[in-house]
Structure 1
């Protein structure tokens, strides 16, 4: 019996979010594999190991800064604390178990994304800007090259952790209008593209999972965008109450408050003479 054609099937937003979370669940192992393969640690002198520890710590430090910027409420902060403590412990054991650190910092990123407001987390990542590139080696031989290479991998690790956190968070996000969804999709693409450009050959598995996340994020955002009613421009010759507009546009007085908020009215009784609203 022939298989049914699936190309015309559109997954629901919930199904796409579930798919996104499933892919995110595979990233910790892939990130662990990247750290184990990329960082040169075995047999290296203490100067190299110390520098590698600093480079790898950058990813966790960046994640801590992100945690502070999203201002988690006390209960949510307590919920993510064990994952951050585990990552800190794994960092101290980097030389012996680099894969364990990659796995642990990825799980901390997922925990943070699960606890934070998705829109706030997105805004925080955008405000941080891309991770700063590692400095090139000052001497083109010996340990200087190893230190510089490890530093570059540390930046790639930071970028990958950011992409993972953002991708996980966007599985929970909803959008007020199509413009917000379009902006979020572009912002996510930039974060994922930055990570994918930095990973390199040691992280092929990681790159595959992050590329899959990027694709699902784009599809999910587009699906949610399509479900949002388009905006229309409403105008009148004088200021009218939002309640009047709610009746006129939707025959639903409960939408008056949202109309006033979207129009940035200084008072619901005095809507602007021209403003944008959702189509009915």
Structure 2
């Protein structure tokens, strides 16, 4: 059952559209960690064919997310002296106030008029 679930996780990772390079790297790390654990179980049980299949799956997932994540924007830490409105920061960071909702979502702010003094946002 674990292996069937692992195959579905790999399929979901293939369909996933990461919003940033950092999310692609994080997703790759999580999926590869799950595959590694199952590879260890298969290796310990002497299931060589299963081990080889999992190794190929691990490689495919890793290459896929690495390639797709390479062209995505990285995240940077945004720091301000005091809470700022999302519209102000969107204009300052991107010269596009229409991206204020994006900043609210990325920062986890309760209200768009008061973004936290430090949070991660897309660099571009």
TM > 0.5 fold call: yes
Provide structure 2 residue ranges, at least 5 long, that are not aligned to the other structure: none
1:172-216 per-residue CA deviation (whole Å, 9 max, x = no partner) reads: 112234443333222212221232233355551x43333211101
Q: Which residue of 1 aligns with 2:83?
A: 239
What is the rounded CA distance, in whole Å, between the counterparts of 1:198 and 1:240 in structure 2?
50
Change (3 A) 1:235 1:190: closer
Q: Which residue of 1 aligns with 2:33?
A: 190
Paired residues of 1:181 and 1:225 also in contact (CA < 8 A): yes
Provide structure 1 residue ranges, at least 5 long, that are not aligned to the other structure: 1-58, 60-158
Structure 1 or 2: larger helix share? Answer: 1
Paired residues of 1:160 and 1:196 also in contact (CA < 8 A): no
Paired residues of 1:163 and 1:210 also in contact (CA < 8 A): no
Secondary structure at the residue paired with 1:196? Answer: helix
1:210-238 per-residue CA deviation (whole Å, 9 max, x = no partner) reads: 32111010111212332221222223333
Change (3 A) 1:275 1:201: closer
- 1:217 pairs with 2:61: yes
- 1:255 pairs with 2:96: no
- Relative contact order, higher structure (CA 8 A, sep 6+): 2
What is the rounded CA distance, in whole Å, between the counterparts of 1:194 and 1:276 in structure 2?
30
Secondary structure at the residue paired with 1:277? Answer: strand
Paired residues of 1:162 and 1:191 also in contact (CA < 8 A): no
Structure 1 or 2: larger strand share? Answer: 2
1:49-107 per-residue CA deviation (whole Å, 9 max, x = no partner) reads: xxxxxxxxxx3xxxxxxxxxxxxxxxxxxxxxxxxxxxxxxxxxxxxxxxxxxxxxxxx
